[in-house]
Structure 1
C-alpha cells in the first residue's frame, strides 16, 4: 500500500527531488538478509528499498533485520521477503519538503523511498532535512514525533 499525501497547496519551498539521494541501492526479495546487511554497511545506510520486476514491493531496515531475524534467532540466510516491511509510506518526487516532514512524523519513519510510477527514484532521510537550515524546525518536529513510542513491530 502506497500513501501519497498531496494536499494541493502551492508552496514556494523546495520539492523533495531537490534534496533526495538519487544513488539508491536496492535488493530483491530473494536476496538474503545478510546480503542486505552487507550493502547497508557498505553504503552506510539503515534501509534499502526492495524491488521486484522494477517495482518497489517493500523496504528492509536495520531494525527489521534485528527484530525479525536476529532477535528471533533465525539464520542470516533468511530471504529479505521474510523480514521486509511491506506497508510502505513513500514520497512522490514532486512533494513539498514540508509535506515530506509531516509524512515522516505521522508515520514515524526516518527514511522514505521517493517513488514515481512504482519505481524508486530516490531516498530522503530526516538528516537531509536537518542539513538544510530552512528545514531544521520541520526536521526537529518530525524527529520528535518519530521518537514517540509506537506499537511494537509484528
Structure 2
C-alpha cells in the first residue's frame, strides 16, 4: 500500500490533473473533498473527456475547453474501496473481480492509502523471495490427497 497519496480536488482542472499524473508517473488520482474520498480520475476518464482527433475545434479551442473542465465533472463517482483492516488477498480479489487496478484504502471515509496493481506485484515478488539468494525447489507430483506424505 502506498501511504503518501497524491490527490486532487473536484475543482482541479483536467489539464492540471493530467500534468500531475504525467509528472508523478501515476495512472490515476483519488479525488478528495473536505478530507473525504469523492471520486477517482484516471488516464482513461481524461482521454474520454478529451476532444476526438477528428474534431473541428482548433488547438486553442481544445485547450480552452480542457482548462475549463473540472475533475469533478468527469471523475468516477462510485469508487470501490477497501478498509485499512483488509488483507492483501481480499484487496487483490476485489481488484480482479471488478477489473480495476486501484483500491483506495479508507477509514471513516478518509483515505489512508492506496493499493495499486503494482503494489500487488511487489508483494508477490517479496513473498516468493524473488531476487534473494537461495534455492527454489519445484515438485511435479500427481494431484492426489497426501501425495507428499506417501512419497517422502
> What TM-score do the two structures reach when normalised by structure 2?
0.71
**Which one has a bigger Cα radius of gyration?**
2
* CA contact 1:68–1:83 (8 Å) conserved in 2: yes
Higher relative contact order (CA 8 A, sep 6+): 1
CA distance in 2: counterparts of 1:49 and 1:37, whole angstroms: 13
Give the SS at the match of 1:27.
coil
1:76 alignment counterpart = 66
- The CA deviation string for residues 96-125 of structure 1, in whole angstroms up to 9 with x for no partner, is 111001100111101111111111111111
2:87 alignment counterpart = 96
* Equivalent residue in structure 2 for 1:110, among 87, 97, 101: 101
1:6 alignment counterpart = none
Of residues 61-70 and 93-102 in structure 1, the stretch that sits farther from structure 2 once superposed is: 61-70
Q: How much has 1:68 moved relative to structure 2? A: 2.5
- The CA deviation string for residues 66-114 of structure 1, in whole angstroms up to 9 with x for no partner, is 0133449662220001110001101111101110011001111011111
CA distance in 2: counterparts of 1:94 and 1:81, whole angstroms: 29
CA distance in 2: counterparts of 1:86 and 1:69, whole angstroms: 18
1:58 alignment counterpart = 39
